[in-house]
């Protein structure tokens, strides 16, 4: 009975450790986390209040039974410059782009494409209040809506291109027709007038002789 209770207690400990490992708390130094997002999951990515200097906190998020993720921060206060090139910075990196945040402007329902990485990097100087963020799995309906919106915008762009092409074609046709007609008429009139005048003049002279 005693051994059985010890084993069950050990299993409970392991399960709670695995659950806690999904939430990220940046404490000090270098920390790395590997997290899989499944349907219904929502995990924290936090720092301590007035975080430590010289931190590199990295969390790699892989989409499991999850079509997309959303990142939002309720508290966000980092010490850096306006361009986020110096000081403490918060990064979200996916396959296509690298998004950076600093000062008091954090992500609000930011949606990375596919698997992604979150990094918090602090330098050796002053610290801000810190950050409290959540990483959540979006459901399939939300993803389908975004796909429809994207396809809708593509169709609208194509229709606009077709309309502009037709309009420009008509305008160019009218303008070019008028310009070419006027120019060609003037040139042909002048040239033909000169030629006909010379030829007819010669013939009239010969006839009078």
> Virtual CA dihedral for 124, 46, 60, 12, nearest 10 degrees?
130
Spatial distance between the Cα atoms of 58 and 45, rounded to a whole number of angstroms: 10
Span 22-151: which CATH code?
Answer: 2.60.120.290
Across 149-165, average pLDDT: 50
Answer whether residue 5 shows pLDDT above 60.
Answer: no
Domain ranges for the chain: 22-151
**Exposure string (b/e) for 5-38, b if CB count within 10 Å is 16 or more?**
eeeeeeeeeeeeeeeeebbbebeeeeeebebebe
Which residues contact residue 180 at a Cβ distance below 8 angstroms, ignoring those fewer than 6 apart?
A: none
Best mean pLDDT range from 8-12, 26-30, 137-141, 177-181: 26-30
pLDDT above 70 covers a percentage of the chain that reads: 56
Instruction: Please report which confidence band the pLDDT of residue 166 belongs to, taking 50, 70 and 90 as the band edges.
Output: low
Q: Provide the whole-model pTM.
A: 0.59
Mean pLDDT of 113-142: 90
d(C-alpha 101, C-alpha 34), whole Å: 22
């Amino acid at each position: 009975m005693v051994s059985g209770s010890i084993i069950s207690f050990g299993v409970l400990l392991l399960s709670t450790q695995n659950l806690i490992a999904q939430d990220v708390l940046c404490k000090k130094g270098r920390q790395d986390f590997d997290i899989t997002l499944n349907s219904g999951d929502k995990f924290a990515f936090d720092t301590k209040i007035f975080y430590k200097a010289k931190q590199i906190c990295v969390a790699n998020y892989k989409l499991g039974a999850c079509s997309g993720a959303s990142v939002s921060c309720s508290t966000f206060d980092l010490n850096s410059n306006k361009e986020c090139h110096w000081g403490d910075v918060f990064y979200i990196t996916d396959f296509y782009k690298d998004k950076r945040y600093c000062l008091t402007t954090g992500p609000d329902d930011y949606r990375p494409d596919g698997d992604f990485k979150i990094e918090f990097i602090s330098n050796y100087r002053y610290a801000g209040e810190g950050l409290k963020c959540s990483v959540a799995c979006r459901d399939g309906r939300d993803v389908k809506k975004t796909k429809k919106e994207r396809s809708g915008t593509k169709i609208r762009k194509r229709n606009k291109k077709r309309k502009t092409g037709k309009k420009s074609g008509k305008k160019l046709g009218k303008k070019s027709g008028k310009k070419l007609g006027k120019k060609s008429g003037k040139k042909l009139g002048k040239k033909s007038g000169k030629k006909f005048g010379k030829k007819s003049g010669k013939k009239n002279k010969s006839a009078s002789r």
